[in-house]
A and B are shown apart, each in its own frame.
Chain A
Amino acid sequence: MSENLNYFRQNRLPHIWCPGCGHGTVTGALTRALAKLGIDKNNVVVVSGIGCSSRAPGYLDFDTLHTAHGRALAFATGIKLSKPSLKVIVLTGDGDCTAIGGNHFIHAARRNIDITTIVMNNSIYGMTSGQYSPMTPTGMLGTTAPYGNVERPFDFVKLAIASGATFVGRSTTYHVQLLGDLIEKALLHKGFSVVESIGGCPTYYGRKNKIGGAVEMFEWQKDNAVNIKAAAAMPKEKLDGKFLIGEFHNEEAPEFTSQYIELIEKVQRKFDDFKGGVRECAQNSD
Chain B
Amino acid sequence: MSEKKKRSFEHVIRERWCKGCNVCVTFCPKKVLSLKNGKVFAERPDDCIGCRLCELRCPDFAITIKERIAVQAESDSSCVDYAIPPEANHA
A1 at the interface (CB under 8 A from B): yes
Q: In the complex, which range does the number of interface residues on chain B fall in?
A: 10 to 19
B59 touching A2 by the CB < 8 A rule? no
B20 touching A32 by the CB < 8 A rule? no
Interface residues of A in 38-57 (CB under 8 A from B): none
User: Which stretch (A12-20, A102-110, A147-155, A185-193) binds chain B?
Assistant: A12-20
Q: What does the 1/0 interface line of B14-39 toward A look like (CB < 8 Å)?
A: 00110111110011000000000000
Query: Which of B12, B16, B23 is close to A215, meaning CB atoms less than 8 Å apart?
Result: B23
A22 at the interface (CB under 8 A from B): yes
Distance of A215 Cα from B23 Cα, bound (Å): 5
Distance of A127 Cα from B22 Cα, bound (Å): 22
* Chain A min CB distance to B59 (Å): 3
* Chain A min CB distance to B34 (Å): 14
Q: In the complex, which range does the number of interface residues on chain A fall in?
A: 20 to 34
A23 at the interface (CB under 8 A from B): yes
Q: Give every chain B residue within 8 A of A174 (Cβ-Cβ).
A: 27, 57
Specify the chain A residue showing the minimal Cβ separation from B55.
A2
Interface residues of B in 33-63 (CB under 8 A from A): 53, 55-61
Specify the chain B residue showing the minimal Cβ separation from A5.
B61
Q: Give every chain A residue within 8 A of B59 (Cβ-Cβ).
A: 17, 19-25, 28, 173, 214
A173 touching B57 by the CB < 8 A rule? yes
B64 touching A28 by the CB < 8 A rule? no
A214 touching B21 by the CB < 8 A rule? yes
Most buried by B among A21, A24, A29: A24
Q: What does the 1/0 interface line of B52-88 toward A look like (CB < 8 Å)?
A: 0101111111001000000000000000000000000
Q: Give every chain B residue within 8 A of A21 (Cβ-Cβ).
A: 59
Q: A28-B59, A173-B59 are in contact. List 5 more A-B contacts (CB 8 A).
A: A15-B60, A20-B21, A20-B59, A21-B59, A214-B21
